[in-house]
């Protein structure tokens, strides 16, 4: 018999279950009625077991009186469809160049396939999820992102329909929360001429957390958190330390908008911002209902 087959989990005795719930009680009491914005992306979105665990966590939070709001990405899924259409994805400084054809694909994948998968997962786990884009309720107003060259700021790159957030109106999210629904937000905004914009999901999550004055912003990633040059987990980061890590190249590429958004949220009143490993089953509950440091926490000072 293959030794790779995992043994079935031993059922917990009722006393052990009661102990676990009793230990979670202070956290449930502390966060009851509070909003948590969750950026959902990476492996957690593609592995079926992790998808199911994520959906269960979100439903559990809602059932104990916490208000989760999910903001999702979908880079790999967009890339996959572009390849099937024979279109090569182009990136400048980590940002996807979004011409009108690519924008159609982005909307189709994010607001269609990916969003509806997440809504379905949460509903199957016993929640009531509702999918939104930035157009719904006029939630995310955007303008074209001006991208200056990192080496020569006098040069501006045209990245097409990539958006910069002008304003967020959270009233549709609040209305759903008050009515026992779980909002699932696709990072698509709209401009003054009704044009669509592709917006970085980390940026949307951070801005939405700030606007909703969320208790926590939780960003699920494909790594244990922010790692130093030796690959060791940094459990806490301040603004000064983030500057140093950007200068020496420890924080680079796709991690830059994630960290910048997290820091903005921390400076704007979100009580705690955590970058956590979405490859760990029930990562959300481990972070929210436990007192062990899990992932990287970002503080404004």
Binding site for substrate: which residues?
Answer: 74-75, 96, 198
For residue 188, the surrounding DSSP H or E stretch is strand 188-190
How many angstroms separate the most distant Cα atoms in the chain?
66
CA 106 from centre of chain = 17
Which residues, 6 or more positions from 203, have their beta carbon under 8 angstroms from its beta carbon?
A: 165, 187, 257, 260, 261
| Spatial separation of the C-alpha atoms in residues 123 and 24, rounded to whole Å | 24
Residue numbering of the annotated binding site: 74-75, 96, 198
SS3 62: helix
What DSSP state is assigned to residue 162? B
Whole-Å CA distances, 158 to 27, 88, 97, 144, 196: 46, 17, 8, 9, 16
């Amino acid at each position: 018999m293959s030794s790779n087959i995992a043994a079935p989990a031993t059922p917990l005795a009722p006393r052990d279950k009661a102990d676990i719930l009793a230990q979670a009680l202070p956290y449930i009491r502390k966060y009851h009625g509070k909003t948590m914005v969750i950026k959902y992306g990476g492996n957690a979105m593609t592995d079926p077991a992790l998808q199911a665990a994520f959906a269960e966590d979100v439903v559990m939070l809602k059932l104990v009186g916490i208000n989760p709001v999910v903001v999702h990405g979908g880079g790999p899924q967009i890339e996959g469809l572009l390849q099937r259409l024979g279109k090569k994805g182009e990136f400048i400084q980590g940002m996807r160049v979004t011409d009108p054809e690519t924008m159609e694909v982005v909307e189709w994948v994010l607001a269609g396939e990916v969003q509806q998968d997440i809504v379905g997962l949460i509903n199957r786990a016993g929640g009531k999820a509702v999918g939104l884009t930035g157009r719904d309720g006029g939630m995310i107003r955007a303008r074209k992102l001006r991208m200056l060259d990192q080496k020569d700021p006098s040069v501006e790159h045209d990245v097409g329909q990539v958006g910069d957030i002008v304003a967020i109106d959270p009233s549709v999210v609040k209305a759903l929360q008050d009515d026992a629904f779980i909002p699932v937000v696709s990072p698509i905004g709209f401009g003054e001429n009704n044009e669509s914009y592709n917006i970085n999901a980390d940026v949307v999550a951070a801005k939405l957390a700030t606007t909703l004055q969320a208790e926590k912003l939780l960003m699920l990633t494909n790594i244990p958190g922010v790692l130093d040059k030796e690959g060791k987990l940094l459990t806490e980061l301040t603004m000064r330390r983030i500057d140093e890590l950007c200068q020496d190249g420890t924080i680079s590429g796709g991690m830059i908008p994630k960290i910048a958004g997290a820091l903005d949220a921390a400076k704007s009143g979100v009580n705690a911002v955590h970058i956590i490993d979405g490859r760990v089953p029930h990562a959300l509950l481990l972070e929210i209902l436990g007192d062990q440091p899990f992932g990287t926490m970002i503080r404004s000072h």
